[in-house]
Structure 1
């Protein structure tokens, strides 16, 4: 674990880390189901890996397809889905290849979580997403935030790297930064708009969770639940969301 990750421990349990995203997805899925008259929606998880989102969505009764370049991740996805007793289709490929891998207009919702940071061309990846979405369909984008990276680098004493993350056009803290690019909320919205999407409200994800020491949650009944409630309350705060580790944006086609 790197020095940045060492400062962010047990508080970032999966439930805390993803609570804000799940809240937005539940609302979006209910809205889409009401608009289409169908409870079973078509969902594509681009870069969905081992199924952290895909399997729970399948458990909700949706038809879920994961497209991921890693065969190992897809094998883990298959095992995870089998253990949960649900079917999730796995396809090996990149986000930019969605139009070649899937039928046009097959999806009500496409997840694009922690993908735009790593693809060769984010604009091409979003164009591919648009190609597989039905009219009125939704994209869920989750991306790393350079402001949070600057905060985390400074907390570990890497002050020059923190400054670099704020000034670098790609939001990187240096040549050894494993993340190729990060996005501000404005940059995400502009990218989605250019791809023909209409962005909705920007939310911050992991505003406090990555700063709270895990010991504060250990042995405290209800502490994790209270932290989730705090994250949800702060997600749309006009100041706090801008320091979140990740930014979440829903947009419709």
Structure 2
């Protein structure tokens, strides 16, 4: 699924772009392992595509299932998993179909990354996820932030579209916007609460990573590591997190 950010500054490496999410996931996995007494956890990646998260999680020793509507993405997932020497189960299906393709209470953790923006019924998708989780299980939600979209559109010189993104209830900048909806932190937490989850802290992802020109990372020893540290510091900052490209929340069932 598409990501936000100015194309002229597609600078940050994947490690920089996902560092904040991985930091939260590692802590969550450790907590779940302690709570369940199992180091090998059952993880479902809803809309997991080509396995950007699923394959590394399988590499950590977890049992990972990806449910995605795209057969091409699932084929790429299979190739990526084979190259990494890990096993990841791929199932073709939409997030709304989760209850039909997987057993209730089969998961300790469900990833729902860049999904709620695109499904027809976000509340229904969260209800489907809730049905998969065991008591005390976690959902990891990553969603596009409308404030960041306004910033990115303005940096590209599209000032009317930036204003539209701020005023539109769905956070869209216009009819040509490929993203059906975006969520502020309060809206995301409210949606999770309404689905019966107890949301944790909202954290910002890619506060600076999509704004930094690539030339500042290229050839500068330690620059990427320093940017990761900056992203981690900004993730929970009470002001900076609200301008992040994406917002991340862990919520307990």
TM bracket (short chain): over 0.9
After TM superposition, the score normalised by the length of structure 1 is: 0.98
Partner Cα distance (2:164, 2:105) in 1: 41
After superposition, give the CA deviation of every residue in 1:128-176 in whole Å (9 maximum; x if it has no partner).
Answer: 0000000000000000000000000001110000000000000000000
1:48 match: 48
- Is the Cα contact below 8 Å between 2:5 and 2:210 reproduced in 1? no
Please list every run of 5 or more consecutive structure 1 residues that lacks an aligned counterpart in the other structure.
none
After TM superposition, the score normalised by the length of structure 2 is: 0.98
Indicate whether 1:95 and 2:100 are aligned. Answer: no
1:251 match: 251
Indicate whether 1:29 and 2:29 are aligned. Answer: yes
2:123 match: 123
1:83 match: 83
Offset of residue 218 of structure 1: 0.8
1:179 match: 179
1:18 match: 18
After superposition, give the CA deviation of every residue in 1:204-233 in whole Å (9 maximum; x if it has no partner).
Answer: 000000000000011100000000000001
2:61 match: 61
Counterpart of 2:180 in 1: which secondary structure?
Answer: coil
Counterpart of 1:201 in 2: which secondary structure?
Answer: coil
2:205 match: 205
Partner Cα distance (1:235, 1:198) in 2: 20
1:224/1:4 Cα in 2 relative to 1: closer, same or farther (>3 Å)? closer
Offset of residue 9 of structure 1: 1.7
1:3/1:158 Cα in 2 relative to 1: closer, same or farther (>3 Å)? farther
1:3/1:140 Cα in 2 relative to 1: closer, same or farther (>3 Å)? closer
Counterpart of 1:134 in 2: which secondary structure?
Answer: strand
- Is the Cα contact below 8 Å between 2:95 and 2:125 reproduced in 1? yes
Instruction: Give structure 1 regions of 4+ aligned residues with deviation exceeding 6 angstroms.
Output: none
- Is the Cα contact below 8 Å between 1:197 and 1:252 reproduced in 2? yes
Counterpart of 2:135 in 1: which secondary structure?
Answer: strand
2:233 match: 233
Aligned residues: 252
Q: Say what the alpha-carbon RMSD is for the aligned residues.
A: 1.3
Offset of residue 8 of structure 1: 2.4
2:73 match: 73
- Is the Cα contact below 8 Å between 2:58 and 2:88 reproduced in 1? yes
Please list every run of 5 or more consecutive structure 2 residues that lacks an aligned counterpart in the other structure.
none
